[in-house]
Structure formats: structure tokens, C-alpha cells
Amino acid sequence: MNGITKNRLRKWAILFIVWGWLLLFGSVMGYVEKSMAYSFLLEDIMNILQIVLPVIAIAFTIYFLIQQRKDKRGKRLRISLISLWIALVVSMVIVNLIQQNVLHEINFELQHPLFMVLTAFAITTTALILRYRLMIIGGVLFGLCALTSSYLKLPEQLLVESLAWLIAFIIPGHLLYARNKKNNQPNERNTVQ
């Protein structure tokens, strides 16, 4: 990884953390909804969080990207990553349209592994663009989790997806963020007393 990309990559770690935790939380909530009995209060809380948390994550991402616009050197990188993730969302919509046209219904047990494969591709491509080896491994493991989930029912698929988000986004994001904080702390030996 060259120095310029390494420094820029550390800035992106916070997005990996935010979106990783959001998507892990969403997968776990989906599992809870489909396989457990819970109170009306918990249902109300989960319904509110399913709206509020994505709005917060989207707002934070927009703020982050606006802040990154000040760095003119990272324009190609930023455009590449934004385009990649927009293409992922468009691809997911197209998968749903194809599934509806062919099967005349949306089969969620089929849709979920397909979405996971598309996401694995996006994660791996993001990692290749950023040259972040740990996330490349995470993207490949995400793809293997997609294959594994295709053998399971939907609630268990959501648990496998939770594990995949942990492996592919959360752990690499936290490690990168911690390395960034460590590198940005002042050296105590060099301070003047």
C-alpha cells in the first residue's frame, strides 16, 4: 500500500465501522423478528431504530464525503468508491426485478444469498481499490458466508450475514481506526517540558 493511499484509507475506516455495525445490527434484528417472541415495547423500539439508525448513518456518510471533498488528491478514489456502492444498490434492485419477472414473486431465501454475493463483490473491490489486505480477506469470507447461507433458512441466513459483516467491515474498520489513532497521537518523548 503506498503512503498516500494508506493515509486516505485510514480516514475511510470510520465509514466501515458505522456501516458495519448498522448492517450487523439490522441482520440481528431481522433474526430476532423471524425467530423469537418479544414484547410490543421491543417491537416498537426495533421499528424506530430501523428508521433512525439508517438515517443517521446516511447523514454521517454525506457529512464525511463533504469533508473529504476538501482533499482534491482523493477525488478519483472517492468517485470510484461512491460509484461502486451506488452500482451495488442498483444491482440489488435489478436482482429483485429479475426475480419478480422470472419467479413472479420475491423469494427471500434466494434473494438474501444473491445480495450477499453482490455485497461480497463490492467489499472485495473496495478493498482492492484501497489496497487493504485484511478487507480483501474479509470480502472473500463474506462471499463464502453467502454460499453457506444459501443452504440455510432465512433466519439463519441473517445470523451468517451478521458474522460476515463482523469479519468483512467491523474488525478491519476497528483495526484500521485504532492504527490511525495510534499514529496520530503525539509522541511523549518529543514534547517540550
Query: Mean pLDDT, to the nearest integer, of 5-31?
Result: 85
Q: Which helix (H) or strand (E) holds 74?
A: none
CB-based contacts of 11, cutoff 8 Å, min separation 6:
68, 180
Query: Mean pLDDT, to the nearest integer, of 55-82?
Result: 86
Query: Mean pLDDT, to the nearest integer, of 89-93?
Result: 96
pLDDT single digits (tens) 23-38: 999 999 999 888 888 8
| 94 pLDDT above the threshold of 60 | yes
Q: How far is CA 141 from the centre of its chain?
A: 14
Residue 7 pLDDT level (bands cut at 50, 70, 90): low
* d(C-alpha 46, C-alpha 52), whole Å: 10
Distances (CA, A) of 190 to 64, 152, 171, 185, 193: 32, 56, 32, 12, 9
pLDDT single digits (tens) 163-193: 999 999 999 999 988 876 666 655 444 444 4
| 90 pLDDT above the threshold of 70 | yes
CB 64 within 8 A of CB 14: yes
| 48 pLDDT above the threshold of 90 | yes
Phi and psi based region of residue 104 (left: phi greater than 0; alpha: psi -120 to 50; beta: remaining): left
Is this prediction's pTM over 0.75?
yes
Q: Which helix (H) or strand (E) holds 24?
A: helix 3-35
Q: Which of 151, 139, 143 is nearest to 109 (CA)?
A: 151
